[in-house]
Amino acid sequence: MITNPQFVISLLLALGLGFLLGLERELTNKYAGLRTHILVCMGACIFTLISIYGFPTFAIGDNVIVNQATGIRDTARVAAQIVTGIGFIGAGTVLRNGPMVFGLTTAATLWIAASIGMACGAGMYDIAIISTVISVGVLTLIRIFEKQFLPSSSKQLKRYKVSVYCSGDDAKKIYDYLTEKVECIRDFTSKKLIENPKKSKITSSFDICNKKLIDVIYKDLTDMTDADSLSLQEVNE
């Protein structure tokens, strides 16, 4: 069987456009990055090609059999399932922690990656390329717009991680303080040090929108514990 050049072009274009979408997510350290977006985009392209060219049927009427090239077929029956099927992958990137929901934008990029792959498979290259340019522009430029002009938006929550080496007795004290001080604690762990069981390494990550509060938290933790070391830094999502 000789490979149709159009199929190769469609797959390579889906690979490239999926790479561009995944690159933005990878650079912002999201759960679904380059490989996921490339595979989703190429998978949607392959399913669309199969849907269009893989299942021809023969129409029989007035004792005439229509040949395979012009046969009547439902070209949307496989491709239509991509729209709903991609929801299962997208749902895996959405995380909820209390009132906070994370990963919706990444799920949306997977959805748009699937549609771009379908456009490549259908030979609608202009729509695929324009959609990719617009999508990457939305992901990058709108983030800048939100930071510059929507400073009070709840989306401006920043994630911070604190690590403290101190007495194991301070663990509950630190946990109670963070619970009272911040709205959303994502995790909290306390592990005894092997070399000194009386000491523990306490780590916690939490989300806040008021950067000024960080200095207060650092000072309070320093005052309330006799810590060997204490670090508090922002985590880029």
List, as one string, the DSSP characters of 143-190.
HHHHHHH-TT-GGG-EEEEEEEEEEGGGHHHHHHHHHHH-SEEEEEEE
Q: How many residues does the chain have?
A: 237
Judge if 163 and 90 occupy the same domain.
no
pLDDT reported for residue 138 = 87
Measured CA to CA in angstroms, residue 20 lies from 87, 109, 122, 219 at distances of 21, 11, 20, 43
Residue 17: what pLDDT? 92
* CA 151/CA 142 separation, integer angstroms: 13
Where is the domain boundary, 93, 114, 149?
149
Query: Is residue 84 within a helix (H) or strand (E), and if so which, with residue range?
Result: helix 79-91
For residue 132, the model assigns a pLDDT of 92
pLDDT at 57: 57
Looking at residue 170, what is its pLDDT? 86
Q: Are residues 196 and 108 in the same domain?
A: no
Give the 3-state secondary structure of 29-70: CCCCCHHHHHHHHHHHHHHHHHHHHCCCCCCEECCEECCHHH
Same domain as 115, residue 141 = yes
161 and 135 part of one domain: no
Range of the domain at 201: 157-235
pLDDT at residue 140, as a whole number? 86
CA distances in angstroms from 135 to 195, 204, 234, listed in the order given: 51, 34, 27
pLDDT value at residue 50 = 84
- Give the end of a domain, one of 149, 178, 196: 149
pLDDT mean values, one per 10 residues, the chain (237 residues): 75 91 80 83 89 65 47 68 81 64 80 91 90 89 76 63 87 87 83 86 84 84 86 76
Given this model, what pLDDT does residue 27 score? 81
Please count the structural domains in the chain: 2
| 119-151 residues labelled b (16+ CB within 10 A) or e (exposed) | bbbbbbeeebbebbeebbebbeeeeeeeeeeee
Short-list 149, 169, 164, 166, CA closest to 204 = 164
Tell me what pLDDT residue 142 has: 81
Give the amino acid at 123. G
173 and 117 belong to one structural domain: no
Q: What is the pLDDT of residue 15?
A: 92
pLDDT of residue 59: 47
